[in-house]
Structure 1
Amino acid sequence: MNVAPVTLFDHARRQLGELCRVAGFPDGGRDAVDVLRELLGAAGRRPLTEPPLWPSDVADDATPVEFSVAFDESGDRAVRILGETIAENPGPASNIETAKRFLTHMAQRLDLRLDRFAAVEDLFLVDRPQGKFALWFSVILRPGRAPALKVYFNPQVRGQGAARGLVAEGLRRLGLSDAYDTVTEYALRRGAADQFSFFALDLDDGPLSRVKLYISHDSADSGTVERAAGAVEGVDPLLVRDFLTTAGGGPGPYAGRPLISSYSFVEADAGRPGNYSLYLPIRDYVPDDAVAREHVLAHFARSGLPSAELDRAIAAVTGRPAAAGVGLIAHVSLRLGRFGSGTTVYLSSEAYAVQAPRGRVSASATF
């Protein structure tokens, strides 16, 4: 009897279904699985016995999908899918066209708002994109609600030197020109060491539909991101320091993969962000996932979050021992501000490879 080979979609579907059950979806996230199938497209139909269809930068092993679980201080939970849609015959231009077709279909299915996407599309979706990606998607899933969608553009798609101008023009077209000055004042203070890394749009029509700006901070220490957090009214920068000390192991500098700040802007308050988030690429600063888990659990304990839920989320994605690899827990982020606070844990699918544990953290990543 011939058994069909396991495809990328088969692998990711099981993980997503288990995560949705952990998060309290009564139907195991059936609608979410349908969206995942379309998001993965041709890459999802490919057997895992074959190499990745495209060297996606979504994950270290080129898997074009990553999962995360948001633990809100309110007690709410969300499951998120970060993904890249790959063409049957992949390439920078063909991937963009395939991604746009996916977006058009999702807009019809989910009644998405595409006017803001259309307003900036020509800035970021170019014929010869530079960098590691051009268009990614995030699918946000909450029990009892329809899936929501967010798009990520690459500010460096025309080259690193053009990024600031692209972001400024994108914000101007969206009626958020003042946001650029705010971000420059608080987060772009160290020349080339601070760079725009993502320009993201929520595609719903609600009053809190966001434009999000992400800034990478090379070799930054706690002081850099504490200053960045100060752009959001009411945010205590000491919470950022505590997060890095607990989850990251110290104040830095973080000389491996960079810390990333993000700001959320809405039309009603164009000049001031409503939220600040700090993303720690924890996999670069631990020898293995057992240590990463300990660091995240320490942060959970300080934040009053339930440790058992973290372990259930990890078990939903993998059955391997945590000490057997590094990168399953790829990032952990702290979210602060009036749009809601909480912690998000990002989990790699590891469809193609498990990164070997390190004997110790490299010298460039120590404090």
Structure 2
Amino acid sequence: MALLDQNNPDAWSYPQSHQVAHQCQRTTTAIKPTMPAAPASAVMDQVINGSYISEANRQVTRLSEAVGQDEVTREKLLHALKFSGGEWCQNAIPQKLDRSAWVSDVSNDHSPFEYSLALSQQTGASELRFLIEAQPEENSLAALKESTSRLTDDIATEYGPTKVSLDRLNLVRDLFLPSDAEGMLASWHSFATSKTLEKWKIYLNPLASGRQNTFNVTQEALERLGLASSWKLLESIMTRDDYPIYFSLGLSPNPEDAEVKVYVAHCDASATQIAQKHVKMDPNSSVHAIELFYSVMAGGSLGPYRGKPGLSCFHFKNKDPSRPAARTVLYPMDSYAANDAEAQERIETYMNVISAPRIYRERYRNAISSVQRRPLGAGRGIHSWVGMKEKLDGKRSNTFYLSAELYGCLVDDGLSKSGR
């Protein structure tokens, strides 16, 4: 999931008590890594000779096998992947990114899909997901809106009212998909499977009506969804350097259980500052756990992180909108590690710190091996983001966002300007 383009930001609209006095422009140059960066000529070793769907099917199958999913669960995942890919996914993958066509912001190398693996810190139980953007026939936001909206409707038809409902989306659709929308995101779709679940989500753009309306759009959306108290909680932790960057809506037909997730970018924030926001949101949060996570992922640094910002994701449910059902912190590994070998080393260190169970370690390592086409030390980009989620019961999990690397690893040539 790549960060929306933050170049040339306008002023943001926010309540006077939190009036924006500082405009955060995302820096495309991250903190200098502790190891030499991969040379600009570093590319993937294996040329892909196939279509988008054949390559996605290959990688997802290997990922599913790597984390021990049974065949029934795997087939659900592969069916959703093939269905959501549509006709455009039958096209051959070009050897080089075609910038005359629509350039997707789903993943850090602009592949139109991304994978993620969630692992329980306590048990190693896994959840595998993909995130996809329905590619437009023309290079325009209007065409993108048309293709992604069509996929939304097709998902509802294919899966039926017992599994997918668009009722809540229809309450807020005009806020995130206005006729004069801006930006690089119309909607993304994700599908997740495990032994106990099968769920679709849609990701929307709070900045679609302009940066000056970002906070108003988020507030209005939460209020329409019956989550006014959730907005007040969210508002209380945001400062002039924070802004909502993604709005995710679970498409479950059960409104009490379907999640609304608001992703907040923390520009130039330190790990401690981010942790303190979570404690203010939920007093049971652990400053130490969040600082520890960021510090290890950053190779020992507590920040502030002045390149691509760290994110928080707050999960809300109508069952109890007065507090988040879960909270997640996300670290942009692709911008602060010299290469994927260094990224893996940091993650292995974190496993030791949290005493991760053996199955957790095996599933992570197997997952990386299943998607890589090159030595991890040859470049960066397979590891996109790493997240730590904490539920109300205190149970924690980590999510690893993995790039398909259809166009090669990231190099310091501008490809990494769009990062989730």
Match of 1:361 in 2: none
Cα shift at 1:335:
0.3
| 1:265–1:272 contact (8 Å) kept in structure 2 | yes
CA 1:288–1:357: 2 relative to 1, 3 Å: farther
Partner amino acid, structure 2, of 1:20: S
CA distance in 2, matches of 1:337, 1:140: 18
Cα shift at 1:106:
1.5
Where 2:365 maps in the other structure, the secondary structure is helix
Match of 1:341 in 2: 396
Cα shift at 1:96:
1.6
CA distance in 2, matches of 1:203, 1:97: 19
| 1:232–1:337 contact (8 Å) kept in structure 2 | no
CA distance in 1, matches of 2:345, 2:173: 42
The question of 1:260 aligning with 2:311 is answered: yes
CA distance in 2, matches of 1:232, 1:213: 15
Structure scoring higher RCO (CA < 8 A, sep ≥ 6) equals 2
Match of 2:165 in 1: 113
Match of 1:365 in 2: none
CA distance in 2, matches of 1:321, 1:144: 34
TM-score (norm 2): 0.80
Match of 2:282 in 1: 232
| 2:187–2:203 contact (8 Å) kept in structure 1 | yes
Where 1:292 maps in the other structure, the secondary structure is helix
Partner amino acid, structure 2, of 1:142: S
Map Cα deviations across residues 120-149 of structure 1 (whole Å, 9 max, x no partner): 00111122321221211111111364x311
Match of 1:75 in 2: 124
Match of 2:85 in 1: 40
Aligned residue runs from structure 1 range 1-367, under 5 A: 5-27=49-71, 29-49=74-94, 51-52=97-98, 53-72=101-120, 73-110=122-159, 111-143=163-195, 145=197, 147-186=198-237, 188-189=238-239, 191=240, 193-206=241-254, 207-230=256-279, 231-249=281-299, 250-305=301-356, 306-338=360-392, 340-356=395-411
CA distance in 1, matches of 2:392, 2:157: 31
Where 2:262 maps in the other structure, the secondary structure is strand
Cα shift at 1:74:
4.0
| 2:108–2:384 contact (8 Å) kept in structure 1 | no
RMSD after superposition: 1.9
Partner amino acid, structure 2, of 1:332: V
Map Cα deviations across residues 216-267 of structure 1 (whole Å, 9 max, x no partner): 0111101221112111242212100010111122100111111001111111
CA distance in 2, matches of 1:233, 1:137: 32
| 1:288–1:357 contact (8 Å) kept in structure 2 | no
Cα shift at 1:344:
0.5
Partner amino acid, structure 2, of 1:22: A
Stretches of structure 2 lacking an aligned partner (at least 5 in a row): 1-47, 414-420
| 1:42–1:88 contact (8 Å) kept in structure 2 | no
Identity of aligned residues (%): 26
| 2:127–2:192 contact (8 Å) kept in structure 1 | yes
Where 2:86 maps in the other structure, the secondary structure is helix
Where 1:347 maps in the other structure, the secondary structure is strand
Cα shift at 1:58:
1.1
| 1:300–1:307 contact (8 Å) kept in structure 2 | yes
Per mean C-alpha deviation after superposition, the further-off stretch among 19-28 and 133-142 is 19-28
CA distance in 2, matches of 1:356, 1:172: 42
Cα shift at 1:30:
2.0
| 2:339–2:378 contact (8 Å) kept in structure 1 | yes
Map Cα deviations across residues 293-315 of structure 1 (whole Å, 9 max, x no partner): 01111112222323222110001
Per mean C-alpha deviation after superposition, the further-off stretch among 112-121 and 71-80 is 71-80
Where 1:117 maps in the other structure, the secondary structure is helix
| 2:77–2:192 contact (8 Å) kept in structure 1 | no
Cα shift at 1:87:
2.0
Cα shift at 1:208:
2.9
| 2:148–2:186 contact (8 Å) kept in structure 1 | no
Partner amino acid, structure 2, of 1:341: R
Per mean C-alpha deviation after superposition, the further-off stretch among 39-48 and 168-177 is 39-48
Where 1:29 maps in the other structure, the secondary structure is helix
CA distance in 2, matches of 1:49, 1:101: 25
Where 1:171 maps in the other structure, the secondary structure is helix
Stretches of structure 1 lacking an aligned partner (at least 5 in a row): 359-367
Query: What is the aligned residue count?
Result: 351
Per mean C-alpha deviation after superposition, the further-off stretch among 306-315 and 193-202 is 306-315
Match of 1:362 in 2: none
Map Cα deviations across residues 5-33 of structure 1 (whole Å, 9 max, x no partner): 51111111111011111222222712222
CA distance in 1, matches of 2:296, 2:109: 27
| 1:41–1:87 contact (8 Å) kept in structure 2 | no
Where 2:243 maps in the other structure, the secondary structure is strand
CA distance in 2, matches of 1:151, 1:279: 19
